Chain A
């Protein structure tokens, strides 16, 4: 066998994963700033469980630990799941989530690169179906909470349960949750949006809500990934357009039931999903046209699930549903190969 090429670029899988993790840091910092130190606890726990489960399965499969543990893929999955889950949940919630993400979605499918579904989103979906109550108790923005937790408190809450401090003092429903329940109760839109948590997208001009800043920081991290060409523009753009267009149409039809596209873009998991989750190359479409179809459809599903589904957010289910379609999408969107005529490529199909 010919050995060429004898030279190679400096790129590596662990570097790719590390760069994505670095791009998450602005969002994480904003999260810690606005929602308290709980995020550090959940990140730490998820990372530990991820590496633990990964090690266990690698040992069972008889694979070498070092190259696979150092590829950073389990850590990235852990971070993405931690950022999708409420902080300050009991520790075993993170354990179960990582079990589904790393063991079921990733390793049982053959390990890195072999999974059909986004591991973090499988973990999230398993949790929201199994433990819906825990999944709705999000930390309240520090500015609006009755009681601000320290990092020690956060550890205490996660490991020892909620103890002396009532959860109501530091948790609240999310923006999307509040919107959904109150619209169903018939609360007028103006009253809902007047709540301080809705921030700028709710109409409080000049005052960005915490979740909005976090979303914007994910956006900034995503732009960094685009600028170093680690991801292409297709998926984030198509995903955001899919969400905004669908939400926009629904909003135009009935503004009393459906929130504005801006509120959709800046809340829940949309920004994280657009730049960090839908772009997971293993489970996403790979051709340029395929990426557009995949992401537009995912964005569309997010808005539809938010509007008509029983869960407040829809990013996980939208991404998982589109993961299913990826082989089909890729097959029918193969790009034209150099030297092939456009018509011949069509004939081949």
Chain B
């Protein structure tokens, strides 16, 4: 089309390997005996479990509630019984376990009654609450709770960008989704537009996906624009796609909303459609299984599906496999435990073999050739950051704008000395965060200590004053002989003090919410009934008392 595109600096052209998995339609998976649903599936606080062991749940039933603002709900992927709530393997680079609800399927796959939402006539704020309870989070990888992103707040959002770039090699889940479910995606985008109140809608898709481009172009209304963007990793990074489409740079340390632009992943739009128009919470997503597997392709996977079962659905790994990657090869991580389940963040599972993923040659010294700087889409000088990160001079590393690094991996990819630059940057960032946490807690401890010293000092002083006063008083009393009680001034002061205390108490009662406030109507009704009964009984006893 005629839209002027902007080219960000840097980027790399790794082999796409998209054809391995994008030729076949999205497949469904048969029902499994067990699902492991982690409570932490998004950025922010993990959800709070709402079920207990032994509880029966239905498909789509909320089993974890959003806790705090940056959080979202988690739902049961099928009907069955809760058999465990404990720490389980989760897809995380650390390999650590995390709290999960394990559901034993009853085979009925019985769903809650889903209630479609008349979103066009709904206040955006009510819509957002509903979206939070539906468990919507960004499916592109960052899994940021969607209801927050749909809240423009004080900022005016003029442009909505749909990210269908899918720039990581191997991954094709958004590609297939766009080819097969373009109409549904568009309906999800309509909901986003409504919530954000934006005028322009741009759908960016890399030009290595002509079928998806065609499908989306056929599905969009006239006021949405599907734009073909050049295939260049990391062109699907939020900041990069925003720049490519609009020429606007997301300010450092900020979000694209600071410049009036909001970016959503294609899969999120599709799930939004399902949760709003069909009323079905986010309990499944499309996941690519590719690499050294028997039948590579895309699957509609329930959240909580163990990755080993997903792999089995794709025919299993072929002989000679050498491990799995969760996510893409540029930014993904090694799967430590194949019992770990699919979460909202998991978009791809790649089975490695030594030919597709050879071991990296040994790390040599940096020759400052600057390839990394030329490949960096953030215009950083990675070799300088590397130098200082390696020397653990984190202050200097930070002065080279370490925190503008998006960890896309382009620098590591091009480095002729095969230095794992991104690893150094992740390490440096983690160290800096850790130090800041330590500094914060040290500061807190110091403040506590200072206050304690101050308090002890004050108490000592007060005691001393009190003693001194008492001593004086007794001396005065001894001097005047009598007339201790009749001190009209003291009496008056006491009365004033008493009155002030009463007022303060009343004010406090008025301000502090009681646990009987803000109750759901059911509970309120129950309380009202109890109150009525009690007053009746009290009335009876009173009348009885009068009779006697």
Contacts and interface: CB of A to CB of B under 8 A. Distances in A.
B331 A5 contact: yes
A5 B329 contact: yes
Contacts of A286: 368, 370, 373, 381, 383-384
Nearest to A73: B367
Contact of B333 (A3, A15, A67, A112): A3
A341 interface: yes
B467 interface: no
B329 A6 contact: yes
A11 B413 CA distance: 9
Contacts of B107: none
Interface string B360-404: 111011111111011001111101100000000000000011001
A108 to B, nearest CB: 15
Contacts, number: 137
A113 B368 contact: yes
Given A4-B409, A16-B416, A336-B379, A111 B365 contact: yes
Contacts of A132: none
B413 A7 contact: yes
B8 A338 contact: yes
B536 to A, nearest CB: 67
B332 A287 contact: no
Interface residues of A, number: 37
Given A337-B401, A339-B251, A6 B368 contact: no
A340 interface: yes
A71 B363 CA distance: 12
A337 B367 contact: no
B250 A8 contact: no
A120 to B, nearest CB: 15
B81 interface: no
Contact of A338 (B249, B325, B369, B400): B249
B387 to A, nearest CB: 10
Max count, chain B CB within 10 A of own CB: residue among A12, A68, A113, A339: A339
Contacts of B383: 286
Nearest to B332: A4
Given A1-B426, A16-B416, A338-B404, A7 B368 contact: no
Interface string A1-35: 11111111101110110000000000000000000
Interface stretch (B217-225, B417-425, B455-463): B417-425
B418 A8 contact: yes
Contact of A339 (B239, B370, B374): B239
Nearest to B252: A339
B260 interface: no
Nearest to B366: A113
A281 interface: yes
B378 A11 contact: no
Given A7-B14, A7-B330, A338-B404, A2 B381 contact: no
Contacts of B329: 4-7
- How extensive is the interface on chain B, given as a class? 35 or more
A334 B379 CA distance: 10
Given A112-B367, A287-B381, A337-B252, A6 B325 contact: yes
Interface in A67-96: 67-68, 71, 73
Interface in B426-456: 426-427
Contact of B362 (A11, A67, A112): A67
B169 interface: yes
A5 B169 CA distance: 11
B416 A340 contact: no
Interface string B58-102: 000000000000000000000000000000000001000000000
Nearest to A16: B416
B368 A5 contact: no
Contact of A2 (B15, B404, B417, B423): B423
Interface string B9-37: 10010110000000000000000000000
A13 B367 contact: yes
Contacts of B371: 11
A337 B379 contact: yes
A113 B494 CA distance: 82
A114 B371 CA distance: 17
B209 interface: no
A48 interface: no
Nearest to A68: B364
Nearest to A14: B416
A282 interface: yes
Contact of B416 (A12, A67, A341): A12
Nearest to B360: A8
A150 B308 CA distance: 72
Interface in A126-159: none
Contact of A9 (B12, B251, B362, B373): B12
Contacts of B325: 4, 6
Contacts of A68: 364
A4 B250 contact: no
B285 interface: no
Contacts of A188: none
B378 A337 contact: yes
B414 interface: yes
Nearest to B362: A67
Given A1-B426, A15-B416, A337 B380 contact: yes
A338 B379 contact: yes
Contacts of B361: 12
B331 A13 contact: no
Max count, chain B CB within 10 A of own CB: residue among A111, A113, A229, A282: A113
B412 interface: yes
Interface string A174-201: 0000000000000000000000000000
Given A5-B329, A337-B378, A339-B378, A71 B364 contact: yes
A101 B233 CA distance: 40
Nearest to A66: B362
Contacts of B367: 13, 16, 73, 112-113, 281-282
A309 interface: no
Interchain residue pairs A-B with the least CB separation, the first 9: A5-B409, A113-B365, A339-B252, A6-B329, A11-B416, A281-B369, A338-B378, A5-B330, A2-B93
Given A2-B333, A111-B365, A113-B366, 16 more contacts: A2-B426, A4-B332, A4-B422, A6-B332, A7-B169, A7-B357, A7-B413, A8-B413, A67-B364, A113-B368, A232-B370, A336-B379, A338-B404, A339-B252, A340-B401, A340-B404
21 contacts: A2-B423, A4-B327, A4-B329, A4-B331, A5-B331, A6-B352, A6-B357, A8-B414, A9-B413, A11-B415, A12-B418, A15-B416, A73-B367, A112-B364, A114-B365, A335-B379, A337-B378, A337-B404, A338-B378, A340-B251, A340-B404
